[in-house]
Structure 1
Amino acid sequence: MGKLIGYVRVSTRAQDFDRQVRDLLAAGVRRDDLYTDHGVSGARASRPAFNRALEALHEGDTLVITTLDRLGRSTVNMLGLAEELRARGINLRVLNLGGGNVDTGTPMGSMVFTVMAALAQMELEIKRERINDSVSKRRAAGKDLGGRRQQFSDSQISNARRLIDAGEAATHVARDLGMSRATLYRRIGELDARQWVTSQTP
């Protein structure tokens, strides 16, 4: 009989994964065979513990997770992973999928997984549409959209530009400010545009 490999993921450092661990242990996964990504989003392609879990799996083994969204956010990625595991002779077991325990090692489990993955993606698309609709309405009404405020003054951006003009590498200047090189150039461009408009005003 193959080994059970458990995978646990929480998206933020503040979240607790004890419940997932308890469920996996109750399902027969040994604590030594648990892999945990803490503070890692499902949208990220690189998840260190998840990669180690995949490496630990061999033909006849089963990857066990508590819910489908532990694998990721995209139907394409989830189904692609299930197919990759199947090609390696590895099963996928989801403890709480559609209110039940689904194992892709069975024909019924494979079908349910496919349907539920599609439904999960549809739900995500609906949520995204609602958010976009809400943002559009707030923008049309002239309301604050929230989000992170720009945290650098025009003076700081001007100083950054002077450093770059003096020969300092833009990548280093951007890193010191805590932003990407592209963001720094965008901020410099915005500042230049505002200053040009001001200079043209009588």
Structure 2
Amino acid sequence: MKIGYARVSTTDQNLDLQFDALVDAGVSRENIYEDKSSGRNDNRPGLDACLKALREGDTLLVWKLDRLGRNFRHLINTVRGLQDRGVAFIVLTGQGANIDTTTPNGKLTFGIFAALAEFERDLISERTKAGLNSARARGRRGGAKPKIAPYALAGVMAKADQAAIARDKEFSLAKAAAELGVHRSTLWRSRRRAENAAMDDSKLA
């Protein structure tokens, strides 16, 4: 069975062009699922229903490649999922018009797209690691800004160590966390992060 999927952005609500192209390609109008949302919108009930309706041996058709995926990686993963389920995929027009996983050439074209997506992912990962290493070498650390200022954390930890030596039962990290206006788990994570950073610095020394 041929099943179609059409999507227009929130600014362009006209689906007629896509519907006509899908019908001309042999898709029954009642088998066309639709969404009216931007490509980056995670909430696409039409696509969710379309993917659930597909069965082994079916073929999913879209007007253009950018109608299906939120981004390049999502597109590749979606089509790979279709292939694993035995569902073919055809793009009718645009830059992805050579993708037709029912033919050897179409499978090859999609394979090239998948390889490019993997290359892009590895390249981003490599650049991110290189950037973090470079930042650490200059004394900067990546990640979100800590919720507890370093001087405040140092003061609390010093107080905690003194309380432990004096066996002062009145002091607790829970009470210290409340004074700092954070949850106790946040204080624990901050302390662990500071200890790990100190260990890393000692290795570099």
Give the alignment's TM-score, normalised by structure 2: 0.52
Cα gap change, 1:72/1:28 in structure 2, threshold over 3 Å: closer, same or farther? Answer: same
Partner of 1:19: 17
Does residue 51 in structure 1 map to residue 48 in structure 2?
yes
Please list the CA deviations of residues 148-192 of structure 1 after superposition, one character each: whole Å capped at 9, or x if unmatched.
Answer: xxxxxxxxxxxxxxxxxxxxxxxxxxxxxxxxxxxxxxxxxxxxx
- Distance apart, 1:74 and its partner CA: 1.8
Among 96, 103, 107, the alignment partner of 1:106 is 103
Please list the CA deviations of residues 13-58 of structure 1 after superposition, one character each: whole Å capped at 9, or x if unmatched.
Answer: 54311100000000000011011102x1111222101111111100
Among 2, 5, 19, the alignment partner of 1:4 is 2
Please list the CA deviations of residues 119-169 of structure 1 after superposition, one character each: whole Å capped at 9, or x if unmatched.
Answer: 79x9xxxxxxxxxxxxxxxxxxxxxxxxxxxxxxxxxxxxxxxxxxxxxxx
User: Structure 2 CA distance, aligned partners of 1:94 and 1:105?
Assistant: 11
- Distance apart, 1:68 and its partner CA: 0.4
1:85-96 matches, within 5 Å, as 85-96=82-93
User: Structure 2 CA distance, aligned partners of 1:84 and 1:99?
Assistant: 18
User: Structure 2 CA distance, aligned partners of 1:69 and 1:114?
Assistant: 17
User: Structure 2 CA distance, aligned partners of 1:63 and 1:14?
Assistant: 23
User: Structure 2 CA distance, aligned partners of 1:117 and 1:69?
Assistant: 15
Partner of 2:30: 32
What's the % identity of the aligned pairs?
44
Among 59, 66, 74, the alignment partner of 2:63 is 66
Compare CA radii of gyration and give the structure with the larger one: 2
- Distance apart, 1:12 and its partner CA: 1.1
Please list the CA deviations of residues 65-86 of structure 1 after superposition, one character each: whole Å capped at 9, or x if unmatched.
Answer: 0100011242211111111000
User: Structure 1 CA distance, aligned partners of 2:96 and 2:73?
Assistant: 22
Aligned residue-pair number: 119
- Whichever residue aligns with residue 7 of structure 1, its letter is Y
User: Structure 2 CA distance, aligned partners of 1:71 and 1:8?
Assistant: 8
Secondary structure class of the residue paired with 2:55: coil
User: Structure 1 CA distance, aligned partners of 2:116 and 2:50?
Assistant: 26
Partner of 1:82: 79
Structure 1 spans left out of the alignment, 5+ residues: 123-202
Structure 2 spans left out of the alignment, 5+ residues: 120-205
Cα gap change, 1:25/1:106 in structure 2, threshold over 3 Å: closer, same or farther? Answer: same
Contact 1:79 1:114 in 2 (8 A): no
Which portions of structure 1, spanning 4 or more consecutive aligned residues, are displaced by more than 6 angstroms? 117-120
- Whichever residue aligns with residue 32 of structure 2, its letter is L
